Structure 1
């Protein structure tokens, strides 16, 4: 019976790993759909690079940084100074590993799929004007070091995971408390969102995005069908993102997580389109789509703690925040072509704080723990993202020339067109 349960748990985790991998297709379609045709290949190239380099980096340094076993001063993983590559323990393929829920290899691959998501978030925010080489350097550093270090603070047993724990005179933990982030509203989504904020600020707006008086010009994307397909794929992939974060195939927990995840997404989409309708008097599909994503990001921190009603309320508030955040980003003249800052940063912060307001852990003390987590991760990510991107800007540069931007990155950086006119080659 134990072997059967071990196999079932492991298979479920592998299915969830495949669903999270599928999310990268969703991100790709969403980003190209909301941007212009002349930059399609550039965006696709970045997304393929992100998942490829992310897997290799997580193999070489990320996994051990994120799950080091011990820390220096509770903050810096001590593998930071040494262990590279994967080193499977003797019990890595047995029931003795991870309480019989999955093998070491499944554990690694599931976590690796999460790692690249942070850079994917930044990819959409800086689309259509960033130098490809500079973005690739940023991705290597941010995915290789920043994401796993932040993740180690909570999921790897670092200081956030023990924040508020009570211990006896012998040092034994007698009461566990502290920051909670089930599947990454902060540890994945806002990690990418903070970097996106810094990158958009240092990079500047696309040519023609803002008028002389500072008001925004709409720059429509070239394919709303692609964007819609991307969001629906992401919604499906989130069943693996959150469902797999149960870390087993436990029937009660996984089914609850899938229900809260799905309902928050639906409520987020409905809220965003309604608030947008009231504000702009239009049925805005792009707001509807981003509202769905906002609901998904918002529920991710506490998907296993919430009731049906809680999840709908959290998603509904997230959807409304999307509309307000997009308007605010435009007002302060930041150019985010896909709404990544609103979706992943604003709703990531909201979802994390919502754990202290709704669900099983709700209370002022828990809200305080959540706030500490949001602020500490925000400061760390803002600082390191600024150092990385500012250094690139001062050395190799981060922005393409105005001619390259206006003519399109596909031709200038890739020498090809995503949609060639074959009629030109007919004889």
Structure 2
């Protein structure tokens, strides 16, 4: 039997061996500051992943608003544009957006890599802690969201070639310039005490919608959209459940979009912005639902969904600047506005998903709302701009916001018109009538998204309607109903 003293010695030795590494870790481990930086980086990456997941929301929303013969084309478009933008923003876009504090554009950080220096005066140099790579990825997914907004308006008739060309120009030049002017130390950051756009009502959403407007003016409406007398006809989407799921995914993604723009967890501000974002979105649904019901005596699904999106777009700019009480007001107004904007725009321009209204008009409203609702506390906390009219009694910040909207719209519209005009002249922007009748799935990609609905199945010959369906169906006859969204 072992001696008792030997047993105590073994136990003491084990305890010493366990305590020594812990003491060394306490002495040589990361500092509180390092741990804070790591926590901030973790939050920024989590938020960026939520924003990336919004691509799935855009895909489902657009698929839901498309006819069955065009659903596969949406998948190809989403994957292609996200991938092209990934490479181009890394190589060029990030440098122009954040590579120095010049007034018009950044000039350093091209082909961004670990350890790269960025010229003095940049937003990155002065305010980003932890990993610049995390900030880069966060900014890229914002660019990808803005690009995705462009294409929903062009459903069912645009040529595939337009995607890669415009994606390169957009990710390299158009989006980065607007981003630099407001977020990267550019000239709009020094108008007054600075333009307020916390998470991108103008930078992301108005930019995407403005590019879409340029495309639509050159592209024209879908075949059969307008009657000979000019009255719009409904071309209903094929799947409202998918549309609804897309809206909910976008709503979820916005909790990365707005709160993630804190770029850290200090003072738990990101949690307050979660609440602000959700209050606005809920009010947008109520505002749009009530408005369309009063107008048409029906609770239109498309309008209700667009009410949520419009409110989320509107609260994006003021989300870091307004108190809780202002969020439902901003969202409610956005929900009301989007209904009237969709109905008005549809009379002249064929926008199948209502993006010009939900991202463009609502983006303008949200940006201007900073000039009304920004609180004294949060203007001081962020160090950008001045309190809004309802706190200061001054129109100063509202004027700054209006200048920013006008400048961003003008830049994006001109550059987008030049780009799409060049594509139209060199390659053509629109598919042929036969290709449009057949659907972009088969004419542009060689396979239907729902092949069993369109391609005859030999083993079912003689067993029902499937055996007699044509390979390339004609477009369904449009009705005289108004388009809901």
Q: Within 5 Å, give how 1:382-397 maps onto structure 2.
A: 382-397=413-428
Provide the residue aligned with 2:136 in structure 1: 108
Deviation at 1:266, TM superposition (A): 0.7
Q: 2:150 aligns with which of 122, 132, 142?
A: 122
Give me the CA root mean square deviation.
Answer: 1.8
**Residue 468 (structure 2) aligns with:** none
Structure-1 separation of matches of 2:239 and 2:179: 35
**Partner residue of 1:78?**
107
What residue is the counterpart of 1:305 in the other structure? 321
Match of 1:341 in 2: 356
- 2:221 aligns with 205
Contact 1:126 1:336 in 2 (8 A): yes
- 2:215 is the counterpart of 1:215: no
**Aligned ranges for residues 18-417 of structure 1 at < 5 Å?**
18-71=49-102, 74-79=103-108, 84-89=110-115, 101-164=129-192, 177-331=193-347, 333-360=348-375, 361-363=387-389, 364-417=395-448
Task: Quote the Cα distance in structure 2 between the aligned partners of 1:371 and 1:152.
Answer: 17
Change (3 A) 1:306 1:267: same
Q: Is the 8 A contact 1:30 1:231 kept in 2?
A: yes
Partners of 1:131 and 1:426 in 2: how far apart?
34
1:97–1:104 CA contact under 8 A, matched in 2: no
Report how many aligned residue pairs link the two structures: 406
Provide the rounded CA distance (Å) in 1 between the counterparts of 2:259 and 2:95.
24
Match of 2:466 in 1: none
CA separation in 1, counterparts of 2:125 and 2:229?
A: 61
**Structure 1 stretch displaced more, 61-70 or 366-375:** 61-70
- Structure 1 residue 70 displacement after superposition: 3.5
Counterparts of 1:303 and 1:29, CA distance in 2: 26
Shift of 1:104: 1.4
- SS of the residue corresponding to residue 116 of structure 1 reads helix
1:78: how far off?
3.3
Contact in 2 for aligned 1:13/1:248 (Cα 8 Å): yes
Runs (5+) with no aligned partner, structure 1: 165-176
Partner deviation per Cα, 1:30-56 (whole Å, 9 max, x = no partner): 001011111111111111111111111
List structure 1 segments (4+ residues) > 6 angstroms apart after TM superposition: none
- 2:15 equivalent in structure 1: none
TM-score by length of 2: 0.81
What TM-score results when the alignment is normalised by the length of structure 1? 0.92
Q: Which has the higher contact order (CA 8 A, sep 6+)?
A: 1
> Does the residue aligned with 2:346 lie in a helix, a strand or coil?
helix
| Structure 2 unaligned blocks of 5 or more | 1-31, 119-123, 376-386, 390-394, 461-485
1:8 aligns with one of 9, 19, 39: 39
**Cα pair 1:122 1:195 within 8 Å, conserved:** yes
Cα distance in 2 between the residues matched to 1:198 and 1:381: 9
